[in-house]
Amino acid sequence: MIALALVTALSFLVYCPIICYLDWKYRDIFSHKLWLPLIAFNIPLLLAGYATGTYPPTLALISGIGIILWIVLIGISLGWLGKRPNEDFVWLCLISIFMVVNPFNGQPFMSMFSFFLVGMTAAAYWAVFVDNVVRKHVLSLRMENGIPYLIPISCALILALVVS
């Protein structure tokens, strides 16, 4: 039944290049409707995983705690309360909800994903910061519209799948 987790992981991997391109090029995905096919595809897989016992019920609690942490970390610190949730928040929540176990080793996905997310986020921020300090010219990366965090989040997703 790890096939459920593998199909879910593949659906998220299909989304990675699309959202990374949009985040890099436009710093926006333009519409949250982009997430609907991913959600519609993965809801039956998630329910089947919990119904068949492939996903232990305790991992639902971990997913819920993950979403609460994203609300606290992103929502309050960036102040989107009362506004439309940003893409980073939605992508993190979708990963927390649907990526329950790693299809390659059967372990809970969030532990390694969180580990790689911290490293990738720090690396992305400092790479842009150092680039702006060292190379002050047109080709420098810019932070006016924010850092395209969907890229490090997607990198953390891929690393958590492959490395762990």
DSSP the chain: -HHHHHHHHHHHHHHHHHHHHHHHHHS--S-GGGGHHHHHHHHHHHHHHHHHTSS-THHHHHHHHHHHHHIIIIIIHHT-TTSPPPHHHHHHHHHHHH--B-TTT-SBHHHHHHHHHHHHHHHHHHHHHHHHHH--STTS---TT---THHHHHHHHHHHHHT-
Average pLDDT in the chain: 85
pTM attached to this predicted model: 0.86
d(CA 128, CA 3): 38
d(CA 144, CA 153): 20
pLDDT at 76 over 80: no
d(CA 31, CA 14): 18
Query: Domain extents for the chain?
Result: 2-162
pLDDT at 30: 85
Determine phi and psi for 101, rounding to 5 degrees: -125, 155
pLDDT at 141 over 80: no
Of 111-115, 116-120, 133-137, least confident by mean pLDDT is 133-137
